[in-house]
Amino acid sequence: MWEITDLSDKERITEQELEEIILQLKENHQIELKESTQLPKSFWETCSSFANTDSGLIILGVKEIPGERNRVTGVDNCGKVLTDMWNGMNNQNKISMRTANNEDVAVLKLADRDIVLVFIREVPMLHKPVYLNGKIENSYLRTGDGDRKHPTRN
């Protein structure tokens, strides 16, 4: 199974290789694909879960299709998506701690559509749990291919 760390083994990959990787990816404990053409609410739950667990990569604008190749749906307004994301990342009323930096975000064009890749870093134990909307009970963990409420925070 492909994991995020596999890309670090290659100095450069072609756009075709990257597109093929993205079209074959399946969600797991470190990969989340989001079909939404804008920044979905569930983006923040995934940020919390990756930050509280083992880090991970969120790809906006790609729909996972079980048993088939994924479909690139793209994001409608990349600039607005990034602005909304950065505004949220820097707002402790949205997420308790910033979980990505400039170098963790990339915009790519696949199938003539923009997709956004956001690598979410696991935070140090001292800052856990990362929670949403100013409420510690809104903290999540990544288990398998999904975001689940932190069991001690229900």
pTM for the whole structure: 0.88
Asked if the model's pLDDT at residue 1 lies above 50, the reply is: no
pLDDT tens digits for range 6-32: 445 556 777 788 888 999 999 999 999
Residue 114 DSSP SS3: strand
Structural domain includes residue 148:
no
Count structural domains, the chain: 1
Q: Which domain holds residue 44?
A: 4-141
For residue 76, tell me if it sits in a domain.
yes
Q: How many angstroms separate the CA atoms of 49 and 116, rounded?
A: 19
Question: Does residue 146 belong to any structural domain of this protein?
Answer: no
The CATH number of whichever domain residue 105 belongs to comes to 3.30.950.30
pLDDT 10s digits, 49-68: 999 999 999 999 999 998 99
Residue 135 belongs to some domain of the structure: yes
Question: 134's torsion region: left (phi>0), alpha (psi -120 to 50) or beta?
Answer: left
Question: What helix, strand, coil percent values describe the chain, rounded to 5?
Answer: 30, 30, 40
Contact in structure between 69 and 24 (CB atoms under 8 Å): yes
Examine residue 149 and state whether it is found in any structural domain, yes or no. no
